[in-house]
């Protein structure tokens, strides 16, 4: 029996597979039926495990699965025996007897890998402390709708070198674009991820000057200063204050630049109202595209 098609992280996937998933998502968005079937996931069920809150990921997976003819079961951490100590491995074995795929949002990346290692069905990373690959698929779709192919373009990440930044680094290598990260030294992305990008020949650089990163960029991206599970709020806010994305930073990028944020945004912290509500911002398209991108991911995992 072939192993399940997991969607765990962009770094472990082939660029042509990622491109196929994006194309599938875009086809669904255009109202096409890429597999020739109106309800290609009819009879299939997706389990959604949430150890952390979610608006976009939860709703886009639920709605996406149903639009493709499938069903979902949503499991909060405290609803299941996981909250009382049943192991991830045993949970994986049991759920695999009931459902056709499992999405997990977890506080610990190792739990995702453990789940995938013991599940007989595809496992999807719905955000961990390390990465957020589904988000970046929607982001790439959004950029390409507005500006064409990402290859050869320049993206600037300004702020915390967090889970979303890690998936952007993976994407820069897989989709051949330049990524300039500007982060406080204390909040740099993990060095092994940067080393991986360098070893792959990726055009990924890290500095701590937000203006230098944003200058003439095709897209400026940021995220919350305090991610779910982060403890050191006060120190983070202090370190990240110089990395706020405001109108003057976007002007240094230029009129062509897009602004992206995975949301939820903390207006007045990592981004000003003038930017998120301004002419550069594509954040609502980005949020909508979570739905279309999820449908591409689900179709690829389940067919
Ligand atoms: N961007 C994102 O993953 O949002 P949620 O936390 O609402 O799912
Ligand atoms: N970095 C954020 C992303 C939320 C979608 C977090 O992990 O909380």
Asked if residue 57 has its Cβ within 6 Å of ligand 2, the reply is no
| Partner residues linked to 45 by β-bridges | 71
Residue 199 C-alpha to ligand 1 middle, in angstroms? 31
Q: How far apart are CA 121 and CA 104, in angstroms?
A: 13
> Which residue lies with its CA nearest to atom 6 of ligand 1?
54
- Ligand 2 centroid from CA 1, angstroms: 36
Q: What strands, in cross-sheet order, belong to the sheet with 101-105? A: 71-76, 45-50, 101-105, 123-125
DSSP string, 151-168: TT-EEEEES---HHHHHH
**Pocket around ligand 1: residues whose beta carbon is below 6 Å from it?**
54-57, 127, 135, 262-263
Which ligand 2 atom sits nearest the alpha carbon of residue 227? 8
Which residues belong to the active site? 105, 132, 135, 223, 262, 290
Instruction: Please report, in tens digits, the pLDDT of each residue of the chain (303 residues total).
Output: 679 999 999 999 999 999 999 999 999 999 999 999 999 999 999 999 999 999 999 999 999 999 999 999 999 988 899 989 999 999 999 999 999 999 999 999 999 999 999 999 999 999 999 999 999 999 999 999 999 999 999 999 999 999 999 999 999 999 999 999 999 999 999 999 999 999 999 999 999 999 999 999 999 999 999 999 999 999 999 999 999 999 999 999 999 999 999 999 999 999 999 999 999 999 999 999 999 999 999 999 998
Fold of 10-132+288-302: Rossmann fold (3.40.50)
Q: Which residues neighbour 133 within 8 Å (Cβ) at sequence distance 6 or greater?
A: 7, 8, 9, 10, 125, 167, 170
pTM here is: 0.98
- Tell me how far apart the alpha carbons of residues 250 and 214 are, in angstroms, rounded to a whole number: 7
Please give the pLDDT value at position 216.
97
> Is 134-286 the same fold as 10-132+288-302?
yes
| Distance, C-alpha 27 to centroid of its chain | 20
Find the 154 Cα to ligand 1 centroid distance in Å. 24
Q: Structure tokens of 123?
A: 């496992």
User: Rounded to 5 degrees, what are φ and ψ at 227?
Assistant: -80, 165
Q: Residue 223's closest CA among 172, 286, 175?
A: 286
The domain limits of the chain are: 10-132+288-302, 134-286
- Topology of domain 134-286 in CATH is Rossmann fold (3.40.50)
Give me the pLDDT at residue 1, please: 60
Q: What is the Cα 21 distance to its own chain's centre?
A: 14
Pair type for strands 101-105 and 71-76: unpaired
């Amino acid at each position: 029996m072939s192993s399940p098609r997991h969607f765990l992280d962009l770094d472990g996937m082939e660029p042509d597979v990622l491109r196929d998933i994006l194309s599938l998502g875009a086809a669904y968005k255009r109202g096409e039926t890429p597999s020739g079937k109106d309800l290609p996931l009819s009879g299939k069920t997706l389990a959604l495990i949430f150890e952390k809150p979610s608006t976009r990921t939860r709703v886009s997976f639920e709605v996406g699965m149903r639009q493709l003819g499938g069903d979902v079961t949503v499991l909060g951490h405290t609803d299941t025996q996981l909250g009382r100590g049943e192991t991830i491995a045993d949970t994986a074995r049991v759920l695999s007897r009931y459902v056709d795929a499992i999405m997990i949002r977890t506080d610990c990346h190792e739990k995702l890998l453990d789940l995938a290692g013991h599940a007989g069905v595809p496992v999807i990373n719905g955000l961990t402390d390390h990465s957020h690959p589904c988000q970046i698929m929607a982001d790439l779709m959004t950029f390409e709708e507005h500006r064409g192919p990402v290859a050869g373009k320049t993206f600037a990440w300004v702020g915390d070198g967090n889970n979303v930044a890690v998936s952007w680094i993976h994407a820069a290598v897989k989709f051949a674009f330049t990524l300039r990260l500007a982060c406080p030294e204390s909040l740099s992305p993990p060095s092994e991820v940067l080393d991986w990008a360098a070893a792959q020949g990726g055009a990924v650089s890290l500095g701590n000057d937000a203006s230098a990163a944003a200058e003439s960029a095709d897209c400026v991206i940021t995220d919350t200063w305090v991610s779910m599970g982060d403890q050191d709020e006060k120190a983070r806010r202090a370190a990240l204050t110089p990395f706020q994305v405001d109108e003057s930073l976007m002007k240094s990028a230029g009129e062509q630049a897009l602004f992206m944020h995975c949301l939820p945004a903390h207006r007045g912290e990592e981004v000003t109202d003038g930017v998120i509500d301004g002419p550069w911002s594509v954040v609502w398209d980005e949020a909508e595209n979570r739905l279309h991108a999820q449908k591409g991911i689900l179709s690829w995992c389940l067919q």
